Structure 1
Amino acid sequence: MKTLLEISNDFYELANIQINKDKYRLLTNNKLYVGKEIELTLGSELTKVKINKKKEGVRILGVYIDAYNSPSPTLKKLRQTVALFSNTLRRKKLMHNHIIYITNKVLMPILEYRNQFQVFTIEQCNFVMAPIKKLFKQSLHLLRSTPDALIHHYLLPSINNFFYNQMYSHIAMTQLLFNTPLLNPIAMTQMLTTQYEFWLPHFPTHEDLTKLESTKLATTFLSKLLIYFNNFNIVFTPVYDTTITGGRTPLLFHIPNITKSDITSLQNKRLIFLDQIISGDSSFLLTFLEMKQMAQKNWKGAPPNWLKKMENTEIWTTTNRRLINPPKELPIQNFLIQTPNVLPKKENQLRNQWYIFWDPKSNTSIYGKGITQVNHKDTPSMTQVQHYVQSYLEDDALFDFRASNSHQDAITPRKKTTILKPCKGCALHTYNVDRPLICTMYIVTSSLCKFKLYNQNIMKRKFPNAKNFWKFPTKHHITLHNMAYNSFLKLNRSSFSHFNLNSNFSNNDMVHNRKFSPQELAMNCNLNKNHFYFLYSIFKDGSLSLDGTNKSIMGAAWVEVSSSVNDTFQCSTAHLPSSTKAKVLAILTTIIAAPTHCHVTIHTDSKNVIDTFNKTGRSNLSQRRIMKLNNFSLWILIYRLIKTKSLRVDMFKVKAHSGHSHNDKADHLAKDACNNSPIFLAISHYSQAPIMVPTLANYGPIDKNIRKYLQRITNLHTFEKLLRTKTLSPLFGPTLDQFDRINWELTKDWIAQSCDGSICSAANDRHTGFKIKNLGHILPTVDKQWLYYPKLYPDSPTNCILCNSTAASNTHWGLCHQHHADRLTDYKECLSVLIKALETYKEIAIAPSAQIAVSTSPLGYLIARFIRSRKVKSLITNAFLSAFMDNIIRKYWRKYARAYKQWEKSLHITKRDKRLYRKRRNQDTEPNHIPGPRLSRTSLPSGTRSREDIRRLVYAVGSNYLHSGSILDYFVSFTPDMREPLSLDINGWCRNMDRSG
């Protein structure tokens, strides 16, 4: 730090810059110096520099940071910024459209910039945006309890969701980090740090992040982001293999309620796989002492907490320690394996040498007795063995239990005795002239593992009926079997990790990080070129067949027309379908097929492809702008191929379906390719590749504008939240299978339509707010009011005020039987407006009569049968819904509202009562508010119905209780007939108290 200070001071002197040294701040996570001052030599002076406190941030270029990476300074500043905006806007006469513009275009970019190095939860984001949300709801005359799904929904007038907005920013920056060559060292370090933080043998996958979400292991910025992105099914998949070998099953997911201290203990003991702490047959959990012996480490202290957790949940009993869910495959462990030595002679006779090795063809272990070892020059040493077959003594039919002391209750394989018997002949036999009657084979000496046998005389006394040709190994078959398997894995250097990418992704684009040589790139389709600079005129086309996002097939094809051969090419691919992607793929395959140092002319019917090709070729285009283009990975590869192969490429526009023979032929080939199985190309950059690629749940890479792509996903999340709100979920069912019966695009146009033609007006705010409340079923009916003010209304929800036969609700008031006859007449008037509009703007000649179609078709399908233009569709829809709103909805809501007010008046409920009720509730929910004691009915003295008794009681209790609202709220609740006189007297009493001090 001293050197850095000297360098900075020299720079200031060179540039003649005056620095206020009193503003120097020092950040440290050393608890001994936090919040204190130290003396530093700044230039030639000794200056006291203040050290910031633990949660005290420092502003650097508008971003607040601190030594402990605490989110508190940033959260505090964001809250202050939002409060400043809300206080400023509250004093202005603004409409809801003004607030939408200021929030989305001014406030959100400021919050996004200041939140570059922190990520906040949904609750924290709602806490920050609470003042603005309250202000926006007030501008639309919505209740404060209106669901956030209504004010953040993209189909409605809405403000941006801050939580989603921070996700857009962070995912774009994360993609830039892992796709910029200059930042690759930092990106690789962060990736390995994240893997070490979770203590996984591989970079966390989609399934891993789903399991880790409930834990509190994510502490770094990148790990938190990965978990949040995974909630939207976006996973960053590494291109480089960071897999740690040595086991199959990660230990992390077998420890219940894992904590950071458990991870630290595992890291100190270098335990990362379940294979390291279970028995060789994958059936038992080892004791702590056995783990020490297997790891050959002298761990000190008591058994760790994570082991105690596993003993409580992962094994049946602590006596036998059998696993409840053992792994299906053999564990990979560190065995002490003895291999035979290579003897000096060319042919060596072996005596009493027993081996076991792993046969990958049969996927099992094979036993053998050594016969000879043959060593020839420049060839590996080979050992001839006699094949022996393994079995268990208790399962052998030749063994007589009655004359033996063996346990007959040996049920599990671990309790059974392993025996070896000579093989009588099998497919592994290699014929030998010297020993034709025994089953022999030749095995590479280095792949054999040695083991020993028990003394035959000792085993004969233990098992009197055992046959002389039976052999008894000193180790159990399960141990030897696992030892042979681990020896085979070490020799072949296999990948031990369970981590495998999804098959849909592993064969897709942008996965393999392979560097292509110029010779490989020059390989083409064996096109015959007549001279060095060969001119190609290639007609190409792309075709798309839609069948779902991940099932759609895109066909690409091109036709070479410069030579007489007229070579053709066609292929298909899938994932993130678009016709433009198919055309770009056709261009890519064209560039791959072209020889080096040639001139390629491409004709296409897509002006968009030509414009993007010219735009991508600009040298001043930054990496961030390139990644905002659709199919940017293909475009990057196209230009790198052009540069490496020294190609000159020109593109020309051809009118589609104009009768051009070559263009029609390419179009036909592309459509035929859609009928074939898609071929997934393993495409990568042959220069420096990205560290990680964003993928859609490992289905394939996302090579589009990642910010807009995530925005589409969050729109679906918001849409689902709206459909699952308590008021709307009964309409669409638990599976939401009825939501497509509504034309949501026309609904969006209808809600956005102004009632008076102006963009901003108070009347339009009220009109739009009424539409939103009507859409969300949150109009203030009796059932809603009872939820908001339970103590002011009767104990249970009341029936409809008009018909008094059905429970009051938002779904009933418009269908009330009280105005059934009038409603039919109004319906006919609205239908006449619709029929007249359809006949006036009719565009499809074969459409049926509007009078007949109205009675048989839903509204959206009905308009589509008559009109093609979307603008005209919106015009007709708005005309019909305007008539429906004026003649039915607002008409009958006014009737209901008038009856509702009369009902409230009969109960002596006024607006003042509701306001005081809300005020008391807000005071009770404030964290620093300590309410005064509440008076009960029985605490009223006799005669409190008189004004003098009430006044006397108020004076007796004192002003402290009065200011808390207790006395006032009490009398408002229990003396309805005295409310107005009481309120006036209390206000006068307060004025007198203020005058008298």
Structure 2
Amino acid sequence: MPLKDIHQAHQIISKSKESTDTLESTLSVSPLQPFLHHQVLNMTTKKKFLEKWFNTTETIIDNLLTAAEKVDALNSYSVYTDGSNQDFDGHNIMGLGWVIPISDDTRDDIEFRCTTEFFPSSTKAEIMALITAIAIAPVNCKVEILSDSQGAINIFNNILNNSLGKNKKNEISNNNNMILTLVAQQIIKELKLQISLVKVKAHSGIKYNELADCLAQVSTISPFQDPRISINSYSLNQLKVIPRWKNITLDYSIKIATKKLNKEIWTQKWLRQNRIRWWIHTNKAKNVNWDLTWKAVHPSKISSLTSGFREASSRKFSLKLLNDELPTLSNLHKRNPLLYKTNQCPFCQIEIENNIHIFTCSSQTGINPLEELKEKFKKILIHEAANILQLKLNLESLKKKLDIYTNDFDLRNQHLMEFDQICFLDIIAGLIPNSLVLLFKEIMGNSKDGKLVVLRSMYKLKLLLFQLWKYRCEKFLIWERSQNIKAKDKKLGRKKPNNTSTMIDESIDMRVYDDVIYDQQQQTKNLQICNYNMDYGSGEKRNSFNTAVHYAKHWLYAKILSGISIKGTSRFYKTN
């Protein structure tokens, strides 16, 4: 055969072989190509979906996208979620984490953790964990959520009931996590998810729940460097108006925000009174459980339709005791100095008689009355705890803990009230310390019973103090008769003494430039008075409404950023 024909034959054979290889490769790849193309398309769509709902770093989006890839082929999955709220030197940071079990080997599990801030609470952290856990789900997926937060479960049940039309009233817009709730509702609707919720007991040894709890903890080494995640509220289509304040999206309605601001304005107005600010200041207010403090003042709701003389008397006494409005000799001397010529205690004649001295005066027996009052308060606490625990009460252990806690309760120096730590005199005035609530939470085993014991004990302590006050009033009436102070004299009202004193003696001839020096003295005095009455923060008068508004806004903004408890106050309550 000629060489030319042989070369042509080789070309024909090679071409046929190439076509065969191409056909085989096409047959082997073509079944996978639609699947891979579909998966890439799904992940691209999922990434846009995640970027639509979350404001965070690219790393967090990639972590969520990786988790979404692993569950993309699943029709259902279970997820253990948890959240935490931790305080770092006055700045609260919330951690959230979840784990999706895939197999018995924990290395195959899908894990996620992140942090968030603004409006800090453990419930919000739990809700954020739930939202991120369902956001990675594929369409028409069944998601079983296992959480140890009953509050978060209740909110999600409310969402599910609302989507099914079971709720006659739309209560979602009235809770404290309005934005998060609406976001969760919209994500469930868009992804057509079927959600089931299971309550698990916290710290009960469940492996995946303990793992989720570890993931939710904020790093103590670099808490402020951890990546943050937040909700993009502009993706909501249910809200026409998104409430914002100082470039922060409010997580509750404008109505609730206005109520909170008004409440803080009047709280500031109350705290900035001279009668209050000398003993409730700086960090002391952070140590007060304000919720229980106000409840202890009112035996029943002020709007209650049932009332009685005893209850009204107790409420009136508690309010006057807290606000230093009891008719003690100190106040009577201010109101009518001509009738009551001194503010010293008429019985011991040593100290000024104010709302605290009436319970610390030892004029009758020479014994410190706080010692007896302390013992009675301890008996009240033990009695109330025994009423609930009954046979479960460890009496000896309770007595030891109370002895340690009330070790310095017999100190009666009123200057102790000026410090940050809450003393027994503060409790007598009406404050309930957080430390006492935490002590009985530990003793009773739960927060609800602990608060109940403290609240009931404070009611009984107030009744005991009221009896002591009535006994003092009887003695004071006898003293008034000895001073020839009659009822008609007291009814005449306050008498202001004539102030005839002047700064200079007009009978002395003024030398040259004396009038200039006098004017300078007057200007200096007026300037000092003005500075004393002026608040340096607001530029307004110290006790004016505008000053209260100024500090209320500062406090509310700090509460949103730093998570200052609504039951306490903060360093923003400092006064000049």
* TM-score category, normalised to shorter length: 0.5 to 0.7
Q: Tell me the equivalent position of 2:84.
A: 543
In 1, are the aligned partners of 2:314 and 2:466 still within 8 Å (CA)? Answer: no
Note if 1:559 corresponds to 2:100: yes
Q: Tell me the equivalent position of 1:985.
A: none
The aligned runs of 1:185-224 (5 Å cut-off) are none
Query: Which secondary structure does the structure 2 equivalent of 1:639 belong to?
Result: helix
Give the distance between the partners of 2:201 and 2:297, measured in 1 at CA. 40
Give the distance between the partners of 2:86 and 2:358, measured in 1 at CA. 45
Aligned length: 389
What is the deviation of 1:723? 3.1
What is the deviation of 1:560? 4.7
Q: Tell me the equivalent position of 2:266.
A: 718
In 2, are the aligned partners of 1:559 and 1:666 still within 8 Å (CA)? Answer: no
The aligned runs of 1:664-743 (5 Å cut-off) are 664-671=210-217, 677-681=226-230, 683-686=232-235, 688=237, 690=239, 692-695=241-244, 697-698=246-247, 700-704=248-252, 706-708=254-256, 710-732=258-280, 735-739=281-285
Give the distance between the partners of 2:209 and 2:92, measured in 1 at CA. 27
What is the deviation of 1:890? 2.8
Give the distance between the partners of 1:694 and 1:823, measured in 2 at CA. 62
Change (3 A) 1:555 1:902: same
Of residues 131, 155, 172 in structure 2, which corresponds to 1:588?
A: 131
Q: Tell me the equivalent position of 1:631.
A: 177
Give the distance between the partners of 1:583 and 1:878, measured in 2 at CA. 36
The aligned runs of 1:136-155 (5 Å cut-off) are none
Change (3 A) 1:692 1:567: same
Asked which structure has the greater RCO (Cα within 8 Å, sep 6+), the reply is 2
Note if 1:643 corresponds to 2:193: no
Q: Tell me the equivalent position of 1:894.
A: 474
In 1, are the aligned partners of 2:87 and 2:93 still within 8 Å (CA)? Answer: yes
Q: How well do the aligned residues superpose, as a CA RMSD in angstroms?
A: 4.5
Residue identity in the other structure for 2:451: R
Q: Tell me the equivalent position of 2:199.
A: 653
Change (3 A) 1:614 1:871: closer
Identity over aligned residues, as a percent?
21
Q: Tell me the equivalent position of 2:346.
A: 802
In 2, are the aligned partners of 1:552 and 1:574 still within 8 Å (CA)? Answer: yes
Change (3 A) 1:821 1:765: same
Residue identity in the other structure for 1:730: W
Note if 1:770 corresponds to 2:317: yes
Specify every segment of 5 or more residues in structure 2 that has no aligned partner in the other structure, as ranges: 1-50, 56-61, 387-392, 410-422, 425-432, 445-449, 497-576
The aligned runs of 1:380-399 (5 Å cut-off) are none
Of residues 898, 905, 913 in structure 1, which corresponds to 2:492?
A: 913
TM-score w.r.t. the length of structure 1 is 0.34
Note if 1:830 corresponds to 2:377: no
Deviation string 1:166-222 (CA, Å, 9 cap, x unpaired) is xxxxxxxxxxxxxxxxxxxxxxxxxxxxxxxxxxxxxxxxxxxxxxxxxxxxxxxxx
What is the deviation of 1:665? 2.3
TM-score w.r.t. the length of structure 2 is 0.55
Of residues 439, 445, 454 in structure 2, which corresponds to 1:873?
A: 454
In 1, are the aligned partners of 2:81 and 2:212 still within 8 Å (CA)? Answer: yes
Q: Tell me the equivalent position of 2:408.
A: 856
Q: Tell me the equivalent position of 1:574.
A: 117
Change (3 A) 1:662 1:785: closer
Give the distance between the partners of 1:697 and 1:768, measured in 2 at CA. 39
Deviation string 1:816-851 (CA, Å, 9 cap, x unpaired) is 97x524362644443442344456557565452756
Residue identity in the other structure for 1:625: E
Q: Tell me the equivalent position of 2:37.
A: none
Give the distance between the partners of 2:373 and 2:289, measured in 1 at CA. 19
Residue identity in the other structure for 2:367: L
Change (3 A) 1:685 1:775: closer
Residue identity in the other structure for 1:595: P
Residue identity in the other structure for 1:667: D
Query: Which secondary structure does the structure 2 equivalent of 1:633 belong to?
Result: helix
In 2, are the aligned partners of 1:524 and 1:592 still within 8 Å (CA)? Answer: no
Q: Tell me the equivalent position of 1:604.
A: 147
Q: Tell me the equivalent position of 2:358.
A: 814
In 2, are the aligned partners of 1:854 and 1:862 still within 8 Å (CA)? Answer: no
Deviation string 1:97-123 (CA, Å, 9 cap, x unpaired) is xxxxxxxxxxxxxxxxxxxxxxxxxxx
Change (3 A) 1:717 1:658: same
Change (3 A) 1:604 1:913: closer
Residue identity in the other structure for 2:476: Y
Give the distance between the partners of 2:54 and 2:252, measured in 1 at CA. 16
Give the distance between the partners of 1:643 and 1:562, measured in 2 at CA. 29
Change (3 A) 1:777 1:749: same
In 1, are the aligned partners of 2:72 and 2:138 still within 8 Å (CA)? Answer: no
Give the distance between the partners of 2:231 and 2:401, measured in 1 at CA. 56
The aligned runs of 1:354-369 (5 Å cut-off) are none
What is the deviation of 1:677? 1.0
Give the distance between the partners of 1:900 and 1:820, measured in 2 at CA. 17
In 2, are the aligned partners of 1:750 and 1:878 still within 8 Å (CA)? Answer: yes
In 1, are the aligned partners of 2:94 and 2:115 still within 8 Å (CA)? Answer: yes
Change (3 A) 1:904 1:753: farther
The aligned runs of 1:305-316 (5 Å cut-off) are none
In 2, are the aligned partners of 1:797 and 1:807 still within 8 Å (CA)? Answer: no
The aligned runs of 1:122-201 (5 Å cut-off) are none
Note if 1:780 corresponds to 2:324: no
Residue identity in the other structure for 1:527: E
Deviation string 1:231-285 (CA, Å, 9 cap, x unpaired) is xxxxxxxxxxxxxxxxxxxxxxxxxxxxxxxxxxxxxxxxxxxxxxxxxxxxxxx
Residue identity in the other structure for 2:342: T
What is the deviation of 1:686? 3.8
Deviation string 1:749-801 (CA, Å, 9 cap, x unpaired) is 543349xxx962234423432332232222334564565567xx36x953547
Deviation string 1:49-85 (CA, Å, 9 cap, x unpaired) is xxxxxxxxxxxxxxxxxxxxxxxxxxxxxxxxxxxxx
Give the distance between the partners of 1:681 and 1:600, measured in 2 at CA. 22
In 2, are the aligned partners of 1:537 and 1:562 still within 8 Å (CA)? Answer: no
Give the distance between the partners of 2:116 and 2:86, measured in 1 at CA. 11
Change (3 A) 1:766 1:706: same
Q: Quick check: which one's helix share is greater?
A: 2
In 2, are the aligned partners of 1:781 and 1:809 still within 8 Å (CA)? Answer: yes
Give the distance between the partners of 2:213 and 2:437, measured in 1 at CA. 34
Residue identity in the other structure for 1:542: G
Note if 1:663 corresponds to 2:209: yes
Deviation string 1:435-479 (CA, Å, 9 cap, x unpaired) is xxxxxxxxxxxxxxxxxxxxxxxxxxxxxxxxxxxxxxxxxxxxx
Give the distance between the partners of 1:686 and 1:864, measured in 2 at CA. 41
Give the distance between the partners of 1:605 and 1:766, measured in 2 at CA. 44
Change (3 A) 1:691 1:708: closer
Query: Which secondary structure does the structure 2 equivalent of 1:576 belong to?
Result: coil
The aligned runs of 1:280-295 (5 Å cut-off) are none
Give the distance between the partners of 1:539 and 1:625, measured in 2 at CA. 27
Residue identity in the other structure for 1:728: I
Q: Tell me the equivalent position of 1:882.
A: 463
